[in-house]
Structure 1
Amino acid sequence: MITWSNLDTLPSYKKMLSLKGQVKLAEVLGGSDGAKRVKEYSVPMAAGLKYNYAAKQVNEQILGVLSDLAKEAQLTEKYEALYNGEIVNTGEKRMVLHQLTRGQLGKDVTADGKNKRDFYVEQQKKIADFANDVHSGKIVNEKGEKYTTVCQIGIGGSDLGPRAMYLALENWAKANNTFKMEAHFISNVDPDDAASVVASIDLSKTIFILVSKSGTTLETLTNESFVKDFLSKAGLSASKHMIAVTSETSPLANNPDYMAAFYMDDYIGGRYSSTSAVGGAVLSLAFGPKVFADFLDGAAEADATAKNPDLLKNPAMLDALIGIYERNAQEYPSTAVLPYSQALNRFPAHLQQLDMESNGKSVNRDGAPVSYVTGPVIFGEPGTNGQHSFYQLLHQGTNIIPLQFIAFNSNQTGKDVVIEDSTSQKKLCANVAAQIVAFACGKKDENPNKSFAGERPSSIIFGEKLTPQVLGCLLAHYENKVMFQGFMWNVNSFDQEGVQLGKKLAKAVLSKNTEGALKAYAEFFGL
């Protein structure tokens, strides 16, 4: 039987707190056994990736306590309950089924009178058929011309994940001759966003994807109207240039204004939706259905590894539990995600939403306040750009901020040049290795300005090259990490009430139903 308990009620919690500060990175990495530790503190991931945590402030004793905590919190059992269709989203009283969009992990799950795995596979096939028809010229515009561009209109999870995935695979697809259509994204209700995108594309050869599960998202519908106005002025019909990704019960479903509609459901949260039709439509149109299918395979493989009850053989759970130790025992407030891959330049932005919207909670699953800290602040930028920006604070600032590097041995395009006896890619990798050791071991200097305290913990996820399968694995790894941490903190990682209040007040401002300070602020803008 599964028991949902607060973290501080678990038997091993106080023991974990007592181990704070036990490991000094300068000693374990800077000494003669440093190379041995780097080799041993490593776990295989899906898709050929590895998770290395040698530069984390943990040892066998701490890992043993974290393993005990994982068992006491029943992480494996709770994950099993999730993928078998139990209602784990207590706030909205819903199942959580994003894993089913990429594979079957357990028993059949039925909802709304349908086998949900079959439903998601059916939608994937419909998207693949549509994309193939567009690419072959079976589906064309008013003039019988092929479409060359796709543009997604959505916000939050309907934009951040799919945009990050597209950018991550764009160069790979071009290098591997699978690039089909250029993709653009409109998300911000700021009209300058839509205007700049519309001005940069050929409307007559563009398919717009309107993404809104409810069909009522204010920002998305506003941008849809903006685009429709441009289409109308260009003498183009929206029904020849728009498709919808929505739920079967939304106003967008079975609507003649769209040339096609593909469906998701209430069991797929926005920030977890990149492997559903939300990501499937744009990625299949941009790169072809095979690339999207490979992306799903990588995610499914990572989901399968997350089932392993052995903490040291489950990279997502291990990453999550080390994060719990850093947040609750060591009291580190933030985590920086640092991909040394330009292709992942928007991946940290996606992880900001995934992590902070999921676990930015101060009450537990039952609505009672928790007496410990929960989700950290997530931020990041690609290296080496970040090194010339905020790394100063990471190295010598007053807060210690744990780091997570992502790096690859090879770049996506295969293009490089030798300068000063090494390629650009080798210089990139050299910087990753140098930063890990610099953060961990620091450097003493008589000049305080040039002295580095070290003891900045980091982990690294690394592999040979960023491919669709690898990207799917990365995505699922972080989704599962966030899930396990939510289970540990006993919060609901699958609702987002914190985004609702501002929306309601904005509607009140627009309807002129305001008073007090809200009315005064509205008057700043003549509202």
Structure 2
Amino acid sequence: MITWNNLDTLESFKELSDVKKVNLAEVMTGENGAERVKNYSVPMAAGMAYNYAAKQVDDDVLEALKKLAKEAQLTEKYAALYNGEVINTGEKRLVLHQLTRGQLGDTVTADGVDKRAFYVEQQQKIADFANKVHAGQITNAAGEKFTTVVQIGIGGSDLGPRAMYLALENWAKKNDKFKMEAKFISNVDPDDAAGVLSTIDVAHSIFVLVSKSGTTLETLTNESFVKDALKNAGLDASRHMIAVTSETSPLAKSDDYLAAFFMDDYIGGRYSSTSAVGGAVLSLAFGPEVFADFLAGAAEEDSLAKNEDVMQNPAMLDALIGVYERNILGYPSTAVLPYSQALSRFPAHLQQLDMESNGKSVNRFGEPVDYVTGPVIFGEPGTNGQHSFYQLLHQGTDIVPLQFIGFKNNQMDTDVVIQGSTSQQKLCANVAAQIVAFACGKADDNNNKNFEGGRPSSIIIGEQVNPASLGALLAHFENKVMFQGFLWNLNSFDQEGVQLGKVLAKRVLAHETDGALKVFSDLLNI
């Protein structure tokens, strides 16, 4: 029987707080450090590995974390999720994003249908549509092929799909998989839509409107912006637009769209990159086969997350170490540092994934918790970040745990040798150096040049950013966030915190304001 208890009521958590703290600089120096790097590694899907040698853990801490995982019933709670129990207690919903990429357990029936079959059906419909667009069977009114796809959405309808597209764009070009350029419109700021529209040929563009409810204010505003642009170009908007929405939304059977593909309430926006939300734009941009490989990588990583052995479960181990850092060591934030330009927007996606999921101060029953929960997530690609905020990471007053991501090979297979090494070798040399520099530091009599070290990091290492490794990477972090939510006894699958501002914004637009809200509205000339 599963029990849902607050973290601070678990006996294993109390034991964890008593375990001797690790001197990271000491254990990472010399041969000790070399042995840790070799041994403190867990295989991931798609040939990747999660290496936690530079984390503040040792065998004693790991044993305590294993006990915590067992007492918190992490494996059982994950099974309850993928077998279709109501895990989203706030909205009384199932949580089924893993079903978009594979059947992990029992058949899940909801709304009278097999949900895995439903998601596969939508993927097939998207694949058929994309193939017809690429073959010139679906064209604009002049019978000409579409060359650009533009996604209109916000939040999870933008951040994840945009990050995934950018991650695979160069890979697809190199591997002859690039079908259509993709653009994204998200911000209600008119400069966003106008800027995108100014860079494309609208006559040869197909627009993907993404709104589960069909009522999202920012998205519908941008849709109107796009429709006006099409009308001004003498074009029939209904020949240029498709919808990704729920079956019950007003968009589902509208004549305003060439086609509609469906999602449901069981997949939150920030978890929707492997659903029709990401499927439509990525299949149009790269082809359905690339999207299928992306799903396969995610499915393989989801399967690893079922492993009861923490030391063979990279997402669970990552989650446990993160909770140890947050709740025992007291670190308030985490930096995500991908040493790959392809992952330039991946940290932005993880900001939403993590902070919208676990930025909660009440448990899954609505009761206040007496411990800290989700950390602040931020990041930039290396080596750019080294010339930005690494000063604080190395010598600031706060210790910030670091999540590096590195790949042995670049995507384009083009490089240059300068001073005896390639650009890719220089990139990888930087990430290796940073891990050791953060962990071990450097003593200097000049305090300005003294590095205390003891700053923990982990690294996910892969061969190359490709569809399968990207899918695995995405699933790893989704599952890490899920396991941390279980440990903190949170509902990681609603987001009430984004609603209040929306409600007040509607009041402002209706001129139903008073007090400070009215004055700010007047200052902004609304």
TM-score for both structures, normalised by structure 2 = 1.00
Residue type matched to 1:135 in 2? Answer: H
Instruction: Give how far 1:57 is off.
Output: 0.3
Residue aligning to 1:9: 9
1:333 corresponds to 2:309? no
- After TM superposition, the structure 1 stretch with the greater mean CA deviation from structure 2, 237-246 or 10-19, is 10-19
Residue aligning to 2:241: 242
Q: Give matches, 1:32-43, under 5 Å.
A: 32-43=31-42
Identity %: 76
Distance in structure 1 (CA, Å) of the matches to 2:493 and 2:19? 31
Residue aligning to 2:310: 311
Instruction: Give how far 1:15 is off.
Output: 1.6
Residue aligning to 1:277: 276
1:268-308 Cα offsets, whole Å, 9 max, x none, are 00000000000000000000000000000000000000000
Q: Give matches, 1:225-264, under 5 Å.
A: 225-264=224-263
| SS of aligned partner of 1:26 | helix
Q: Give matches, 1:35-434, under 5 Å.
A: 35-434=34-433
Instruction: Give how far 1:138 is off.
Output: 0.4
Distance in structure 2 (CA, Å) of the matches to 1:309 and 1:14? 22
| SS of aligned partner of 1:196 | helix
1:481-501 Cα offsets, whole Å, 9 max, x none, are 000000000000000000000
Instruction: Give how far 1:18 is off.
Output: 2.0
Residue type matched to 2:180 in 1? Answer: M
- After TM superposition, the structure 1 stretch with the greater mean CA deviation from structure 2, 187-196 or 25-34, is 25-34
Structure 1: tracts of 5 or more residues without a match: none
Between Structure 1 and Structure 2, how many residues are aligned?
A: 526
Residue type matched to 1:12 in 2? Answer: S
Residue type matched to 2:93 in 1? Answer: R
Distance in structure 2 (CA, Å) of the matches to 1:430 and 1:122? 45
Residue type matched to 2:148 in 1? Answer: T
Instruction: Give how far 1:356 is off.
Output: 0.1
Distance in structure 2 (CA, Å) of the matches to 1:474 and 1:32? 30
| SS of aligned partner of 2:403 | strand
Instruction: Give how far 1:155 is off.
Output: 0.2
Distance in structure 1 (CA, Å) of the matches to 2:18 and 2:452? 23
1:285-340 Cα offsets, whole Å, 9 max, x none, are 00000000000000000000000011100000000000000000000000000000
Distance in structure 2 (CA, Å) of the matches to 1:238 and 1:73? 52
Residue aligning to 2:18: 18
Distance in structure 2 (CA, Å) of the matches to 1:19 and 1:359? 26
Distance in structure 1 (CA, Å) of the matches to 2:301 and 2:117? 21
Instruction: Give how far 1:143 is off.
Output: 0.7
1:491 corresponds to 2:490? yes
Instruction: Give how far 1:32 is off.
Output: 2.3
Question: How large is the Cα RMSD of the aligned pairs?
Answer: 0.6
| SS of aligned partner of 2:28 | helix
Instruction: Give how far 1:506 is off.
Output: 0.1
Distance in structure 2 (CA, Å) of the matches to 1:317 and 1:511? 47
The ranges of structure 1 where at least 4 consecutive aligned residues each deviate by more than 6 angstroms after the TM superposition are none
Distance in structure 1 (CA, Å) of the matches to 2:126 and 2:392? 46
Residue type matched to 1:6 in 2? Answer: N
Distance in structure 2 (CA, Å) of the matches to 1:524 and 1:492? 38
Distance in structure 1 (CA, Å) of the matches to 2:416 and 2:173? 19
1:8-38 Cα offsets, whole Å, 9 max, x none, are 0001111212236x21122111032211111
- After TM superposition, the structure 1 stretch with the greater mean CA deviation from structure 2, 29-38 or 223-232, is 29-38
1:154-205 Cα offsets, whole Å, 9 max, x none, are 0000000000000000000000000000000000000000000000000000
| SS of aligned partner of 1:33 | helix
Residue aligning to 1:506: 505
1:318-374 Cα offsets, whole Å, 9 max, x none, are 000000000000000000000000000000000000000000000000000000000
Distance in structure 2 (CA, Å) of the matches to 1:101 and 1:16? 36
Distance in structure 2 (CA, Å) of the matches to 1:238 and 1:86? 41
Structure 2: tracts of 5 or more residues without a match: none
Distance in structure 1 (CA, Å) of the matches to 2:197 and 2:525? 28
Distance in structure 1 (CA, Å) of the matches to 2:510 and 2:374? 35
Residue type matched to 1:147 in 2? Answer: F
1:122-144 Cα offsets, whole Å, 9 max, x none, are 00000000000000000010111
Instruction: Give how far 1:454 is off.
Output: 0.3
Distance in structure 2 (CA, Å) of the matches to 1:445 and 1:294? 50
Distance in structure 2 (CA, Å) of the matches to 1:359 and 1:483? 9
Distance in structure 1 (CA, Å) of the matches to 2:36 and 2:85? 40
Distance in structure 1 (CA, Å) of the matches to 2:14 and 2:69? 14
Distance in structure 2 (CA, Å) of the matches to 1:432 and 1:426? 10
Residue type matched to 1:10 in 2? Answer: L
Distance in structure 2 (CA, Å) of the matches to 1:234 and 1:45? 49
Distance in structure 2 (CA, Å) of the matches to 1:308 and 1:502? 40
Residue type matched to 1:235 in 2? Answer: G
Distance in structure 1 (CA, Å) of the matches to 2:143 and 2:316? 52
Residue type matched to 1:148 in 2? Answer: T
Instruction: Give how far 1:520 is off.
Output: 1.2
Residue aligning to 2:515: 516
| SS of aligned partner of 2:226 | helix
Residue type matched to 2:248 in 1? Answer: T
Distance in structure 2 (CA, Å) of the matches to 1:3 and 1:464? 40
Distance in structure 2 (CA, Å) of the matches to 1:70 and 1:436? 27
Instruction: Give how far 1:472 is off.
Output: 0.1
